[in-house]
Amino acid sequence: MRPTVRIDLFHLCFVIPSIPASSFFRSLLHDLLAPHPAPNFSSLQEALEGLPDELCPSDEVEEQTLEEGAKMNALVATNRNFKFAAQLLGLDFKLEKSLLIPFREIKVECTMPKDDGSLASFVGFRVQHDNARGPMKGGIRYHPGVDPDEVNALAQLMTWKTAVANIPYGGAKGGIGCNPGELSLSKLEQLTRVFTQKMHDLIGIHTDVPAPDMGIGPQTMAWILDEYSKFHGYSPAVVTGKPIVSRSWKCA
């Protein structure tokens, strides 16, 4: 007889192995959710052993690679894991479909002059996945490999992480396809300010609060804050991860 399975948001972390720093989050969530009633199985593996084959994730690599040995597309992997978790949770199909569709996807072109006088063009993205629990939250990354699917997948994962941690935020993610190591400090600042000019109406303390991610740090967040404040007045809480010297640490 198949055991009764109770899956809550905590176990969503286990069936979405692509969550960054998953070991840290699993340890943290163990403490956060300890007072809650425990499910009636000793491990996720025990629960999976009793499930029909069609509900269990396949060990076979799906044909979702660009070439032999390539990594599975981030969005394909994330959606696949979410659908598996949704089946375990018994989510209504309409709700499942709704949760897979991001609230808003933004793509902007950031053009700026190079040191030699020619123009350089970079593509920036911001995916705002879900705001049902509060303002959307997620990092911005500068990396040559940034693409719409990666940003979409990471935005979705931010929604699940904030929900599992039970904090009043939704999920978002952003990035620019560039190699920050090949840009001077002045060009990085210029690129960041152009990106912010294109995005300022779509972020905000009650809407979407960016944070640092791969390839950027406190200085970049300070540039975003400064550029955003030109349009909306001094708004220190519009980003997190700023330098403490920006005198805004109390507000974010």
Helices (H), the chain: 9-15, 22-32, 44-49, 74-89, 93-100, 148-164, 185-199, 218-232
- Quick check: is 173 catalytic? yes
Contact 94, 84 (CB under 8 A): no
Give the tokens for residue 194.
């152009």
Measured distance CA(51)–CA(11) in Å, rounded: 15
Measured distance CA(47)–CA(3) in Å, rounded: 7
Starting from the edge strand earliest in sequence, which strands make up the sheet with 170-177, in order? 104-113, 119-130, 170-177, 136-143, 208-212
Q: List phi, psi (to 5°) of 185.
A: -60, -40
Give the tokens for residue 116.
């030699």
> What are the contacts of 101-106 at 24+ separation with CB within 8 A?
102/127, 102/128, 102/129, 102/130, 102/152, 102/155, 102/156, 103/128, 103/129, 103/130, 103/131, 103/136, 103/170, 104/128, 104/202, 105/148, 105/152, 106/199, 106/202
Which one from 83, 94, 107, 173 is the annotated catalytic residue? 173
Cα-based angle 84, 96, 26 (whole degrees, multiple of 5): 50
Would you name the residues annotated as active-site residues? Answer: 173
